[in-house]
């Protein structure tokens, strides 16, 4: 709750308390504040222990989903989408094979999953037109 309070803010509060309460009443007010904070902590600890006693092992079942929700704060959407779309494939678009690097796969099974040996494609001769697939155009 008070994670963002630094030493400079505490010093400002002490100086303001010195001006508002005066040097005679400031130690008494600080002691009262310390006792109050201690009582609040004791109440919170007692409530937590009482909750654990009453709920028992069911508390662990509630704690797991809450921890999962807390982990969602650290969620990187780009990483999740990449993982689920490309399934960890290092070259999902087959771009590594463009320059002759890579293994020639883009994550899909070779030959459509058939077990036949892959067909070797001969390179085009100079001046030869590439074949046209009317379904692909």
Q: Which residue has the tokens 């030959």?
A: 111
At 103 the pLDDT is 53
104 in the Ramachandran plot: left (φ > 0), alpha (ψ -120 to 50) or beta? Answer: left
**What are the extents of the domains in the chain?**
26-89
Per-residue pLDDT tens digits of the chain, which is 137 residues long: 566 778 898 889 888 888 888 888 888 888 998 999 999 999 999 998 888 888 777 777 777 888 888 777 777 778 777 777 777 666 766 666 665 555 545 555 555 555 555 667 788 888 888 888 777 76
What crossing angle do the helices spanning 7-55 and 58-71 adopt, rounded to 10°? Answer: 140
Q: What is the pLDDT of residue 97?
A: 65
Q: CA-CA distance, 44 to 13, in Å (whole number)?
A: 25
Encoded tokens for 18: 């010195």
């Amino acid at each position: 709750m008070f994670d963002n309070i630094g030493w400079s803010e505490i010093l400002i509060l002490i100086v303001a308390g010195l001006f508002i309460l005066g040097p005679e009443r400031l130690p008494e007010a600080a002691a009262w504040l310390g006792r109050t904070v201690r009582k609040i902590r004791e109440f919170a600890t007692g409530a937590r222990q009482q909750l654990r006693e009453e709920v028992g092992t069911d508390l662990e079942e509630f704690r797991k989903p809450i921890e999962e929700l807390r982990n969602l704060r650290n969620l990187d959407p780009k990483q999740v989408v990449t993982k689920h779309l490309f399934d960890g494939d290092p070259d999902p678009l087959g771009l590594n094979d463009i320059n002759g690097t890579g293994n020639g796969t883009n994550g899909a099974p070779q030959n459509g999953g058939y077990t036949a040996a892959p067909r070797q494609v001969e390179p085009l001769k100079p001046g030869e037109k590439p074949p046209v697939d009317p379904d692909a155009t």
